[in-house]
Amino acid sequence: MSIDQLSLSEIIVIVVVILEMLIVFAALIALGVMRRRAIGREARYDKARNDISEAMPELTGDNPDAARARVKAAATRVGVDSGRRLLTELSEFMTLDHARELAGVFTELGYAAVSAGDASKRPWQRMRCIREARALGDPAQILAKLVKDELPDVRLSSFEALCSLGRAEEGMVSLAAICKDGRLARTRAIDALANADPLPLEPLIGAAHGETAELRLVAVGALGRAGATDAIEVVIDAVTDADVEVRIEALRALQALDDPVALPAALRAMKDEFWEVRSAAVATAASLGGDGASKDIARLLDDEAEWVRHNAALALTRCGPLGTASLREAAARGNENASSALAEHRLATEGA
């Protein structure tokens, strides 16, 4: 069949098919080129990582200038973006003191200036800057600014970074705002503050008397988890806070502080009008008082709230012989919680 015998529509179909085939072939060639480039980039990145890793011990050795030159050359070969990422990743596996040399290279190569510029751009870029700051000791000096960011995730991540770098007191300027960003944000703030060194003791004591319940909760929780025995009276006062959640957090904090001086406060909390507080109080009283608290805890085996009765029974298993005796007595009266806790205690102690 010659082309003269083809209709116009048939010619159009043939042309379209040929074009589609050409497009497919072009796409395959492009994908192949992109794949080779990606493999090449990864190979260069891995080589740069190995070169820097080998040079790092020498940065504090006999010939630091030569080692620094090797690190700079390796980072430069992979470009600014990959160089920033590489130095950050390597620093995350080191202590801050050991990362200080890499932070110097980061600044000398101009990456700190680039990071400072990105700190005013899109959220993902700001988050990347925070990661760099946390790993390298904030070479671009951006955390003090980003901790006041309007975006909650950026603000919280900056706060955590400041705490990890020993600058928790600088981050306290945004703690009130962070406390309003939800339960998860408050939990992360407590953890960050509790692990901060040095602990911002005085600012936390002030926050424990703050206007909002969320702020008081975070402050009390951080003081407890950090083991701040110097602030135990502040935590004890929080057991009678107007907010239920603050009272519960205060009881958990007292359990973490593990000072018998707080036992009377825990025993009083077992009479709280809210069952959630009473439930938290029995665990704290058992931890602080042992046998001495068993009689008071045993009374809550008949509490109106099932969860309080359950936790009271479990708490008695940690109160020594008198607690076990109280459980046996309650079990004999038909208390199911006591029977269950007694059986669990027996299995644990006898290894059955």
Cα distances (angstroms) measured from residue 310 to each of 171, 192, 251, 306, 323: 40, 32, 18, 6, 14
Supply angle C-alpha 92, 89, 106, rounded to 5.
Answer: 95
**pLDDT confidence of residue 63:** 83
What is the percent of the chain with per-residue pLDDT over 70, rounded to a whole number? 97
Q: What does the angle CA 34 – CA 40 – CA 41 come to, to the nearest 5 degrees?
A: 90
What's the whole-number mean pLDDT along residues 343-350? 71
Strands (E), 78-227: none
CB of 186 closer than 8 Å to CB of 212: no
pLDDT number for residue 347: 65
pLDDT at 341 over 90: no
List pLDDT tens digits, range 205-240.
999 999 999 999 999 999 999 999 999 999 999 999
Nearest in space to 319 (alpha carbons), one of 268, 267, 248:
267
Q: Do the Cβ atoms of 135 and 153 come closer than 8 Å?
A: no
pTM comes to 0.86
Cα 262 to Cα 254: distance, rounded to the nearest angstrom: 7
Q: Which two tokens stand for residue 311?
A: 């936790």
pLDDT of residue 200: 97
Q: Which helix (H) or strand (E) holds 176?
A: helix 175-179
Residue with tokens 């004890």: 236
Mean pLDDT of 145-150: 97
- Distance CA(201)–CA(65), nearest Å, equals 41
Contacts of 287 (CB under 8 A, 6+ apart): 255, 258, 318
Contact, 330 vs 298, CB < 8 A?
yes
- State mean pLDDT over 28-35: 87
Q: Tell whether the model's pLDDT for residue 251 goes beyond 70.
A: yes
| CA 295/CA 70 separation, integer angstroms | 70
| Nearest-angstrom CA–CA distance, 232 and 254 | 8
Domain boundaries, the chain: 69-142, 259-352
Show the beta-strand stretches assigned E in 151-211. none
pLDDT at 3 over 70: no
Phi-psi label, residue 130: left if phi above 0, alpha if psi -120 to 50, beta otherwise: alpha
Residues in the chain: 352
Q: Give residue 337's Cα distance to chain centre.
A: 36
Sign of CA dihedral 135, 96, 79, 37: negative
Quickly tell me which residue has 């050991």 as its tokens: 98
CATH superfamily membership of 259-352: Leucine-rich Repeat Variant (1.25.10.10)
Task: Using the structure block, give the residue that is written with the tokens 């406390």.
Answer: 179
The band of 98, judged by pLDDT with boundaries at 50, 70 and 90, is confident
In this prediction, residue 2 has a pLDDT band, given cuts at 50, 70 and 90, of low
**Tens of pLDDT, residues 288-300:** 999 899 999 999 9
* pLDDT of res. 352: 38
| Average pLDDT value over all residues in the chain | 92
